[in-house]
A and B are shown apart, each in its own frame.
Chain A
Amino acid sequence: MLSVSARLARGAFALDTAFAAETDGIVALFGASGAGKTTLVDAIAGLVRPASGRIALGERVLFDSEAGIDLRPERRRIGYVFQDGRLFPHLSVRRNLLYGRRFAPKERRHATLDRVVALLGLEALLQRRPGTLSGGERQRVALGRALMAQPELLLMDEPLAALDLPRKAQVMDHIERLRDETGVPIVYVSHAVDEVARLAGTIVVMAHGRVAAAGPAADIMARLDLDPLAGADAAGAVLDAVVERHDAAYGLSELAVPGGTLRVPRLRLDPGRRLRVRVRARDVALATAEPRETSVLNVFRGRVVEIGPRRGASVDVAVDIGTRLTARITARSADGLGLAPGAEVYALIKSVAVDPASLVQAAQADP
């Protein structure tokens, strides 16, 4: 359990946050730039001192303004993966990885060099210098270096922000492996909704230095009121899915989701694999009668749960199809269809709108 309450002011910016999160898996700190995410993780790491508050990881108090506790960063045992890697340029990859090992308590040295190297695929890089690494390689080494210090918590501050798309996907794979195989809890800072949807078990939404919402990822992602805080494209839903079968002829995969079957472009996953699918609100259309002749492969029957406030021309509509789905439609359509909570609707999702890159193995296997 990570519990954080921290207040501090810096010029016009004020941070005033409080949240507690279970630390199994990944806790995402999510919010727009300038929301105070980095300041908050810096406070957890001990790089920024809050004016007041209390920060504790399980039983261990890292900071408590009332009790006068303020552990120095090197005593907190909290790993930090920075956006820019910050590898030591004068040391080889191998020596970068080993840098923190001598300070780790002996009984905690479970992440051995061999394990970390295998986990992150660093075999070929060990003798290289950071200056010769690509961005993705650098971030993988940074992950390994933080891990080798045997941290009790790993902070990652937008570790993918400086990477292009293919590298992002690759490093995300490694972060997932790290989460599943090491069991080190992770606090993951991001303003990118696809990263958060894919990785996080718990989401803490931040806006203007405050915690706007916190809870399990699926609940938070489905909320209509967080959109303006989290960014215009953030609205959507995260569905838990299982690969059912593949349709080789058409290059499709069928996924079992609550409420039916979702057809998406072919995935390279075996049937039975669990994964998460993020469906963006703007990729969902609604109809009041069952559409029969349509190009859209995915049609779900459901009920309107909630209609969000109108923003510009559009409104977000939450639909229950066995799980919650969010549809962004024009206010004109909503009025034209006479949508209201309780109304029966059909939700249409274009298969090609589901981005295979956003699909991932689910956080944990069967509970």
Chain B
Amino acid sequence: MTLTPLEVEAIALSLRVAGWAVLVSLPLGIAVAWLLARHRFPGHSLLNGIVHLPLLLPPVVVGFVLLLLLGRQGPLGAWLDDWFGITLAFTWQGAAVAAAVVSFPLMVRAIRLSIEGTDRRLETAARTLGAPPLWVFATVSLPLMLPGVLTGVILAFARCLGEFGATITFVSNIPGETRTLPLALYTYTQVPGGLDGAFRLMVIAIVIAFAALLGSELLARMLKRRLEG
């Protein structure tokens, strides 16, 4: 089975969108997970609620909210355009933002669980050895929570690849710009004689999912070996 240029385009776009979405949201995800797991502050529940909201809302609603906020006329969108010349509406970067927002709760949940599971007494031990808090975080906390971070990244990545509703609402379905794999598949199903193309994309989606799963299994095993010696 050789891939057509259109399929290659959709796959490449999907991977680019998902990759950037995960990459950019990861530091924020770790920070928010840390905040939620380790600190009690006024607004803790509110932050927790906001982070989880995209998980509960229909993706189309999320997309619409993004359109209102980040569209060219939206308050944030206009500001980004004026000051940085960044346009998110109807661009692949916008698709990445939509994917990131929708997958964020999954990432935060996984990382938070692993933070809560790490032994804080090891951090205390590191402090008594003279290490300042940031160093302790980088050399003790972060390595110990890596398995959870990995899980979060895989979950988020998969969710990004599958993103449909928020994407099509926020950045529409533009070939070569925002037509990711799910959108391409949907498009095929809407035209006469497109079933063949839809079927091929389905197989590709399954292959990508399996590859991601396999890769994460291997990584997880490597991490485990590092932790347990």
Interface residues of chain A, those whose CB is within 8 Å of chain B, are 45, 47, 72-80, 82, 84, 86, 88-90, 92, 99-100, 103-104, 128-132, 145-146, 149
Convert B114-142 into 0s and 1s, putting 1 for each residue whose CB lies closer than 8 angstroms to a CB of A: 00000101101111111111000001100
- Check B125 against A86 for contact (C-beta < 8 Å): yes
Chain A contact residues: helix, strand, loop or mixed: loop
Can you add 18 more A-B contacts, CB < 8 Å, to A103-B131, A130-B229? Answer: A45-B128, A47-B128, A74-B128, A75-B130, A77-B130, A79-B128, A79-B129, A80-B128, A86-B121, A86-B122, A88-B122, A89-B228, A90-B226, A99-B129, A99-B131, A99-B139, A131-B228, A146-B128
B-chain residues with CB within 8 Å of residue A73 when the two chains form the complex: 124, 127-128
The CA-CA distance from A84 to B125 in the complex, in Å, is 11
Distance (whole angstroms) from the CB of B36 to the closest CB of chain A? 23
Q: Tell me which residues across on chain B come within 8 A of A130, comparing CB atoms.
A: 229
Which residues from chain B contact A99 at a C-beta distance below 8 Å? 126, 129, 131, 139
Chain A's closest residue to B132 (CB) is: A74
> Distance (Å) between the CB of B141 and the closest chain A CB?
11
> Contact: A100 with B129, CB < 8 Å?
yes
The tally of CB-CB contacts under 8 A between chains A and B is 70
Does B215 make an interface contact (CB < 8 A)? no
Chain A residues with CB under 8 Å of B129's CB are 74, 79, 99-100, 103, 145-146, 149
Q: Which of B125, B133, B139 contacts A80 (CB 8 A)?
A: B125
Interface residue ranges, B against A (CB under 8 Å): 119, 121-122, 124-133, 139-140, 143-144, 226-229
Contacts of B122 in A (CB 8 A): 86, 88-89
Contacts of A149 on B, CB cut-off 8 Å? 128-130
**Pairwise interchain contact A72-B226, C-beta atoms closer than 8 A:** no
Q: Are A88's CB and B228's CB within 8 A?
A: no
A137 to B162 CA separation, bound complex (whole angstroms): 50
B-side contacts of A80, CB under 8 Å: 125, 128
Q: Which residues from chain B contact A92 at a C-beta distance below 8 Å? A: 229
